[in-house]
C-alpha cells in the first residue's frame, strides 16, 4: 500500500485543463491541496496544464512514476494499464465505472485488467471508486466534491470504504465536525486491493489512531481477521458501518443454526468478540469517531453530568441508564466542594446544576468542572449546555476546552441548540473536544467508550488447544468421505473423539442383537433407525422411547425397520441404534455454523420453545476460551433457567462449558471441511450430574454446493 499512499510522483491519465471535468478535477484538487510529489499530466492534446509539462503518453514521462490515476472510459482502461505496465508504474487507481457493477460486458473488462495487473506485477485500486487521500502529503487523488473545502484538517482518523460516495460523505461529515483526517481509501469493485488490505495498512500506520470503515461484504476473510486481531492487540479502535445482509448467512440458511440466527448475525458476533464498534448510521459513525479522537477511556462506569437545566439532566440520566452507565450520587465532601463554586440556587448533586448564571463570568464554572474531573468518584463527564449565544457561548467553549485538556478522563459536550451558539461550537471543535447536539448522542458515545475500555482491558487472543493431528485426520476424512450430512451415530462417534458425553449406544443389525444390547445396557432404552438416507428420523416413524422389556425391544425393532423402509424403500439402513434413555433435565441446543469469510461460529440456546418461540440464542466465533463459554451461558435471555428457577435445581453448567469447548476444538480441527453441526438436544442434568448429547448431525462442506 505504501506506493499507493506515499507515491513520489503520480501520472494523471487524460488530464484536463477543464476543471469541471472529472480528469480536470483530479488535477485541480492535487494542486489546490498542494501535493508534495511530482504531478505528470498525460494527454496528447496539451503541452502543459497550469504550468506543469503535459506528456502525450506515460512512456514519455522522463522520471519514475509510482502511481497512475485513471478516470477514462472503461473500454480504454486495459490499453492504458498496459502502457503503465510498460513504463513500470506499479500502482494504479481506477476511478472509472462500467466494470463488473454494470453486468457481463463490464465484468469481462474487469477480468482483463486483473490479468494485465498480474502480468505487470501491478496493484490496482478500484475500478468504480472515488480514489484515495493522504492528507499530510497533499495526495488528494479524488474528484469528490468534498475536496472543494478550502483546506483539509489533518488528524488521526483514517477511513476505508467499499463505497466511494459513502467514504467521501463521511470524510466531509468528519471535517464538518472538526475531526482531522489523515487517510481515506475507497476500494470500489475491488478488482485487486480489498478493504481488508486498506485496513491492514491503517492498523500498521502509526499516525492513525482511529479507523472508520464502511463495509458491504468481505472476500478475504483471512487478511481481515489477521488485521482485526492486530488492531485488538494494539488497542486501536475500529468503527464499522456494516450494511446489507450477510450473503454467507443467506447461503447457508438451510441449516438449523443459520436459520435461527438470521443474516448478519455472524458479523455481529465477530465484531462483538473483536471489539469492533458497530455504527448504525452516518451520524453515528461520526459521533463515535469524535469520541475516540482524544484517546481517553474511562476507568469505570461512573459518569458526572454538569448541566444548567434540570430537564436536560434528567433526559441524559434516562439515556445513560439505557447504555449501562451510572450517574452516582456525590459524597457530601464533594458536594461541599462543588457548592463553593456554584450559585446558591444551583444543585451540587449529580447531575450538578451550575445554573445558567454561573456561566456568565469568572472562573467558577471552570473550577466546578475541575473539581468534578479531579474527584475519584467519577470516571467521565458530560457537560450539557443549553442556550447561549455569541461571546458567552465562546467563553463557555473556552472554559470547557481548558478543563478537558487538563484531564485524562473522557469529557464530552452535549450542546443542543442551533447555530446561534456557533462561536462556542467552533472553540470546542478547534480544541478537539467531542461535541454532540443532543443528549442521547452524548450518552451513547459514553456507553461505547466504556465498553471499549472494558474490551481493551480484557483483550487477549483466544488460543485453541493444540491440534491433535490423528484426531484431526479422522474428522477430516469422515467429513470428506461424506458428501452430505453424517448419520447420528457417525456424528456422535466424532464428538466422542473430543470427549463429549454422547449417549451410550450401539447399532443392532437384528432383533436378537437389539435384545442382547438392551439387556446389557439396562432398561429403559431408546431405539432409532440408523440410516444416512433418513435424516428426519421422527418423521419416518424411526424413533421409539421408553422401551422397557426384551419383548418390547423385539417388536419395536421389527416395527421401526418396516416403517423406515416404507418411508424410503431405497434407504441404506445400518440397523437400529440402541441408546440409553437419559432422565429429564434442561434441554439445550449447541450448534456450529461456518461463515466462508469470518470462519466458524458457535451457537448456544435452550431447547424447545426457547429457541423456537423466543429465538433466544447466542453466537460466538470459534475458538472459545473457558470464559467465552461461560459468557455464552449467561448471555442468553433465559440464562437464569440454568441456575434453577421456581424451585428447580441448578443445572450442570460446567458440563455445558466442557461441551462448548469440545465443539470449539472440533471446529478448529475440522476447518473448512465442516459446514455445520447441530447438537439438538443436549440434556443438562442437575449440577454435578453432567449432561448428555441425545442427538446430533454434522454436515460436511460438500453440501455447500447443494
CA proximity to 91, closest of 223, 2, 212, 177: 2
Q: Give me the torsion for CA of 23, 26, 30, 33, rounded to 10°.
A: 130
Which residue is associated with the grid cell 440397523? 575
SS3 of 420-486: the string is: HHHHHHHHHHHHCCCEECCHHHHHHHHHHHHHHHHHHHHCCCCCCCCCCHHHHHHHHHHHHHCCCEC
Q: Which of 519, 612, 654, 704 binds a second copy (CB under 8 A)?
A: 612
Which run of H or of E encompasses 613?
none
Q: Is 173 in the site for a second copy (CB under 8 A)?
A: yes
CA distance between the termini of the chain = 39
Q: Are 657 and 602 in contact (CB under 8 A)?
A: no
CA proximity to 671, closest of 448, 472, 405: 472
Interface mask (CB under 8 A) for a second copy, residues 397-426, using x and -? -------------------xxxxx------
Interface mask (CB under 8 A) for a second copy, residues 338-357, using x and -? -------x----------x-
Closest CB to a second copy among residues 355, 687: 355
Gyration radius of the chain over CA positions: 32
Rounded-to-integer distance, Cα 210 and Cα 158, Å = 6
Q: Which of residues 254-313 bind a second copy (CB under 8 A)?
A: 280-284, 308-312
DSSP 44-77: TT-SEETTEE-BSSGGG--S---EEEE-S-GGGH
Give the nearest distance from C-beta 329 to a second copy in angstroms: 16
Range 53-60 contact pairs with CB under 8 angstroms and sequence separation of 24 or more: 54/15, 55/11, 57/83, 58/11, 58/13, 58/83, 58/84, 58/86, 58/87, 58/89, 59/83, 59/86, 59/87
Give the nearest distance from C-beta 173 to a second copy in angstroms: 6
Query: What phi and psi, each to the nearest 5 degrees, are found at residue 564?
Result: -65, -45
Binding-site size, a second copy (CB under 8 A)? 72
Q: Which of 163, 208, 257, 503 binds a second copy (CB under 8 A)?
A: 163
Q: Which of residues 236-255 bind a second copy (CB under 8 A)?
A: 241, 243-245
Mark the segment that binds a second copy (CB under 8 A) among 2-10, 146-154, 404-412, 472-480: 146-154
Rounded-to-integer distance, Cα 390 and Cα 386, Å = 13
Q: Which of residues 95-114 bind a second copy (CB under 8 A)?
A: 97-98, 101-102
Mark the segment that binds a second copy (CB under 8 A) among 78-86, 162-170, 398-406, 423-431: 162-170
Give the nearest distance from C-beta 282 to a second copy in angstroms: 4
Interface mask (CB under 8 A) for a second copy, residues 537-566, using x and -? ------------------------------
Give the nearest distance from C-beta 144 to a second copy in angstroms: 6
Number of helices (H), then strands (E), in the chain: 24, 29
- What are 523's three cell numbers? 432398561
Q: Which of 149, 253, 521, 535 binds a second copy (CB under 8 A)?
A: 149
Q: Which of 441, 492, 528, 594 binds a second copy (CB under 8 A)?
A: 441
Rounded-to-integer distance, Cα 512 and Cα 488, Å = 22
Strand partners, 63: none
Give the nearest distance from C-beta 482 to a second copy in angstroms: 29
Mark the segment that binds a second copy (CB under 8 A) among 79-87, 160-168, 367-375, 450-458: 160-168
Closest CB to a second copy among residues 64, 280: 280
Q: Is 584 in the site for a second copy (CB under 8 A)?
A: no
Q: Which of residues 632-661 bind a second copy (CB under 8 A)?
A: 637-638, 640-641, 645-646
Q: Which of 8, 21, 386, 625 binds a second copy (CB under 8 A)?
A: 386
Q: Is 613 in the site for a second copy (CB under 8 A)?
A: yes
Give the nearest distance from C-beta 67 to a second copy in angstroms: 23
Q: Which of 8, 175, 326, 335 binds a second copy (CB under 8 A)?
A: 175
Amino acid at each position: 500500500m505504501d506506493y499507493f499512499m506515499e507515491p513520489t510522483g503520480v501520472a494523471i491519465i487524460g488530464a484536463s485543463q477543464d476543471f469541471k471535468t472529472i480528469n480536470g478535477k483530479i488535477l485541480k484538487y492535487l494542486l489546490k491541496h498542494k501535493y508534495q510529489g511530482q504531478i505528470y499530466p498525460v494527454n496528447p492534446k496539451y503541452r502543459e496544464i497550469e504550468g506543469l509539462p503535459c506528456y502525450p503518453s506515460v512512456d514519455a514521462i522522463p522520471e519514475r512514476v509510482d502511481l497512475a490515476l485513471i478516470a477514462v472510459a472503461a473500454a480504454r482502461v486495459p490499453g492504458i494499464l498496459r502502457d503503465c505496465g510498460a513504463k513500470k508504474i506499479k500502482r494504479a487507481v481506477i476511478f472509472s465505472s462500467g466494470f463488473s457493477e454494470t453486468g457481463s460486458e463490464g465484468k469481462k473488462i474487469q477480468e482483463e485488467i486483473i490479468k494485465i495487473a498480474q502480468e505487470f506485477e501491478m496493484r490496482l485500486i478500484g475500478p468504480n471508486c472515488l480514489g484515495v487521500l493522504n492528507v499530510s502529503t497533499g495526495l488528494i487523488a479524488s474528484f469528490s466534491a468534498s475536496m472543494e473545502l478550502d483546506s483539509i484538517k489533518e488528524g488521526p482518523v483514517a477511513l476505508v470504504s467499499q463505497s466511494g460516495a459513502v467514504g467521501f460523505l463521511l470524510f466531509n461529515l468528519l471535517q464538518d465536525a472538526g475531526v482531522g483526517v489523515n487517510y481515506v481509501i475507497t476500494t470500489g469493485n475491488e478488482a485487486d486491493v480489498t478493504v481488508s488490505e486498506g485496513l491492514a495498512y491503517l492498523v500498521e500506520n502509526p499516525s492513525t489512531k482511529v479507523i472508520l470503515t464502511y463495509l458491504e461484504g468481505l472476500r478475504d476473510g483471512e487478511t481481515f481477521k489477521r488485521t482485526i486481531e492486530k488492531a485488538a492487540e494494539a488497542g486501536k479502535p475500529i468503527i464499522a458501518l456494516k450494511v446489507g445482509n450477510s450473503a454467507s448467512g443467506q447461503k447457508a440458511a438451510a441449516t438449523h443454526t443459520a436459520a435461527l440466527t438470521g443474516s448478519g448475525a455472524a458479523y455481529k458476533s465477530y465484531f462483538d468478540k473483536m471489539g469492533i464498534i458497530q455504527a448504525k448510521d452516518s451520524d453515528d459513525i461520526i459521533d463515535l469517531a469524535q469520541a475516540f479522537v482524544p484517546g481517553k477511556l474511562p476507568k469505570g462506569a461512573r459518569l458526572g453530568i454538569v448541566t444548567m437545566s434540570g430537564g436536560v439532566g434528567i433526559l441524559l440520566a434516562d439515556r445513560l441508564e439505557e447504555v449501562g452507565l451510572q450517574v452516582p450520587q456525590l459524597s457530601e465532601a464533594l458536594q461541599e466542594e462543588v457548592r463553593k463554586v456554584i450559585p446558591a440556587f444551583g444543585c451540587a448533586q449529580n447531575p450538578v446544576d451550575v445554573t445558567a448564571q454561573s456561566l456568565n463570568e469568572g472562573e467558577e464554572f471552570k473550577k466546578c468542572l475541575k473539581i468534578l474531573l479531579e474527584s475519584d468518584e467519577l470516571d467521565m463527564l458530560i457537560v450539557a449546555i443549553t442556550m447561549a449565544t455569541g461571546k458567552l457561548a465562546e467563553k463557555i467553549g473556552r472554559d470547557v476546552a481548558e478543563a478537558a485538556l487538563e484531564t485524562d478522563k473522557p469529557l464530552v459536550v452535549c450542546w443542543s441548540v442551533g447555530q446561534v451558539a456557533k462561536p462556542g461550537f467552533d472553540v470546542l471543535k478547534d480544541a478537539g473536544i467531542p461535541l454532540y447536539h443532543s443528549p442521547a448522542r452524548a450518552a451513547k458515545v459514553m456507553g461505547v467508550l466504556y465498553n471499549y475500555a472494558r474490551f481493551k482491558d480484557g483483550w487477549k487472543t483466544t488460543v485453541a488447544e493444540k491440534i491433535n493431528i490423528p484426531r484431526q485426520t479422522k474428522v477430516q476424512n469422515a467429513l470428506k468421505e461424506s458428501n452430505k450430512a453424517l448419520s447420528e451415530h457417525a456424528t456422535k462417534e466424532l464428538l466422542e473423539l473430543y470427549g463429549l458425553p454422547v449417549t451410550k449406544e450401539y447399532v443392532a443389525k437384528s432383533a436378537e442383537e437389539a435384545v442382547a444390547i438392551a439387556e446389557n445396557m439396562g432398561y429403559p432404552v431408546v431405539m432409532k433407525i440408523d440410516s444416512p438416507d433418513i435424516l428426519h428420523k421422527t418423521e419416518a416413524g424411526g424413533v421409539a422411547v421408553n422401551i422397557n422389556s426384551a419383548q418390547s425391544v423385539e417388536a419395536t425393532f421389527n416395527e421401526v425397520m418396516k416403517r423406515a423402509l416404507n418411508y424410503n424403500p431405497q434407504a441404506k439402513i445400518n440397523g437400529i441404534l440402541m441408546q440409553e434413555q437419559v432422565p429429564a433435565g434442561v434441554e439445550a441446543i449447541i450448534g456450529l455454523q461456518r461463515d466462508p469469510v469470518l470462519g466458524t461460529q458457535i451457537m448456544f440456546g435452550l431447547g424447545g420453545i426457547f429457541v423456537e418461540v423466543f429465538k433466544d440464542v447466542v453466537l460466538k466465533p470459534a475458538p472459545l476460551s473457558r470464559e467465552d463459554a461461560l459468557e455464552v451461558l449467561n448471555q442468553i435471555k433465559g440464562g437464569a433457567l440454568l441456575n434453577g428457577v421456581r424451585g428447580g435445581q441448578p443445572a450442570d453448567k460446567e458440563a455445558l462449558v466442557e461441551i462448548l469447548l469440545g465443539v470449539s476444538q472440533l471446529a478448529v480441527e475440522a476447518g473448512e471441511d465442516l459446514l455445520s453441526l447441530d447438537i439438538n438436544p443436549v440434556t443438562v442434568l442437575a449440577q454435578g450430574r453432567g449432561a448428555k448429547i441425545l442427538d446430533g448431525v454434522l454436515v460436511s462442506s460438500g453440501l455447500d454446493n447443494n
